[in-house]
Every structure is written in structure tokens, then in C-alpha cells.
């Protein structure tokens, strides 16, 4: 899934270049699977201590890291949809 108007996947439809926009499903941090959180945190720890975005693909209950982004986009109304305190937590973490 990809955030609409933020990420796109190039395809050809009837021989013409086009884009496919995905949908976003937002979970509360507390409702994210523990295994998913562990994979994400482990991937980020390899890069260092900071704010990272992690692209992860789920295949049959296993999580595969696609990439770690050191300059992640955080889109209002998507990533913060369920956890309104997200920005406060990020600022507090970065200020430590």
C-alpha cells in the first residue's frame, strides 16, 4: 500500500505510462503486531539512533525489510491518524 498522491508505482496500461496509487491503512502503535515492531526497530538500529521510515512487506506473516529511509515523509492525516501524540513523541525523542 502506498499513500495516495505521495508515492506511486509506474505501470503501463494499454501501452501508455500510468501510475497506480495505493491506499493507506493506519494502525494505533499499540495495535501493530509485536513482530512487525521488532523487525522495524532492528532495521533502524543498523543505521543509528534517529528518526527513520521503514518500508516493510508482509508475506504470509513474515516481515521483509524493503528499505530504511533516513529522511522519511510523515503525512498529516495518514501516519498521525490514529496516534495524535506522534509529533510530541518524535520531538521528545529527538531532543534527548
pLDDT at 43 (0 to 100): 96
pLDDT at 4 (0 to 100): 53
pLDDT tens for the 96 residues of the chain, in order:
555 555 555 566 677 766 666 666 778 889 999 999 999 999 999 999 888 988 888 888 899 998 999 988 888 888 888 889 989 988 898 887
Burial of 8 (0-12, 13-18, 19+ CB in 10 A): middle
Element spanning 90, H or E: helix 86-95
Phi and psi (nearest 5°) for 74?
A: -125, 110
pLDDT at 50 (0 to 100): 85
Show me where the domains of the chain are located. 27-95
Amino acid at each position: 500500500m502506498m499513500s495516495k498522491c505521495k508515492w506511486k508505482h509506474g505501470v503501463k496500461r494499454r501501452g501508455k505510462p500510468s501510475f497506480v496509487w495505493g491506499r493507506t491503512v493506519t494502525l494505533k502503535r499499540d495495535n501493530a503486531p509485536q513482530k512487525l515492531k521488532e523487525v522495524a526497530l532492528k532495521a533502524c538500529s543498523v543505521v543509528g539512533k534517529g528518526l527513520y521510515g521503514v518500508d516493510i512487506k508482509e508475506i504470509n506473516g513474515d516481515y521483509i525489510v524493503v528499505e530504511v529511509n533516513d529522511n522519511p515523509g510523515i503525512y498529516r492525516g495518514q501516519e498521525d491518524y490514529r496516534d495524535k501524540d506522534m509529533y510530541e513523541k518524535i520531538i521528545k525523542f529527538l531532543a534527548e
